[in-house]
Amino acid sequence: MIRYKLLHPDAKAPVYGSDEAAGADLCAIETVWLNSYRIRLVRTGVSIELPKGYEAQVRPRSGLALKHGVTVINSPGTIDSDYRGEIAVIMTLIGRDPDVIFEIKPGDRIAQLVIAPVVRATFGFVGDEELSGSERGTGGFGSTGVN
């Protein structure tokens, strides 16, 4: 169970839209206007208490992205298990037309919250030693030949 608090009278609890949904909808508590590539922080009025060893990922809603070009700019945004503040969503409108404006209203579903386990690695400094070889080696972006 993920414990939560509503920090604003208009705040809504995160809710799954269907029995099989992976993400719970997050709703806005304020009116925000998005225009071409202007980055805005949209408040939800919700804080959560995650168990140790878990994170919450804030992801875009596919319908907003497809129909309106509205997205979460740092997708996925990460909420660490030790954070207890209000969840806010960093959003933008992707498009080149500066005259296009998208209005977010209180109660609008703006993003989805996915709870996931966290695996923490141990890092070992190797100094001047070589890292083990691999078929890919140091090939970077696009180097695997996959389109």
- Is residue 124 a part of any domain in this protein? no
- Is residue 60 a part of any domain in this protein? yes
- Is residue 147 a part of any domain in this protein? no
- Is residue 143 a part of any domain in this protein? no
Query: Collapsing DSSP states into helix, strand and coil, what is residue 95?
Result: coil
- Is residue 101 a part of any domain in this protein? yes
CATH of the domain at 99: 2.70.40.10
What string of H, E and C letters represents the secondary structure of 23-73?
CEEEECCCCEEEEECCCEEEECCEEEECCCCEEEEEEECHHHHHHHCEEEC
Name the residue range of residue 37's domain: 3-117
- For 9-46, what is each residue's pLDDT tens digit? 999 999 999 999 999 999 999 999 999 889 999 999 99
Question: Into how many domains does the chain fold?
Answer: 1
Contact 21, 115 (CB under 8 A): no
Contact 76, 26 (CB under 8 A): no
pTM of the predicted protein model: 0.88
- Is residue 144 a part of any domain in this protein? no
The phi, psi pair for 94, rounded to 5°, reads: -90, 120
- Is residue 69 a part of any domain in this protein? yes
- For 90-128, what is each residue's pLDDT tens digit? 999 998 788 889 999 999 999 999 999 999 999 999 999
**pLDDT for 146 beyond 80:** no
Please give the Cα distance from 107 to 110 (Å, whole number). Answer: 9
Q: E strands of 61-132, at which residues?
A: 70-72, 77-79, 88-93, 101-104, 109-117
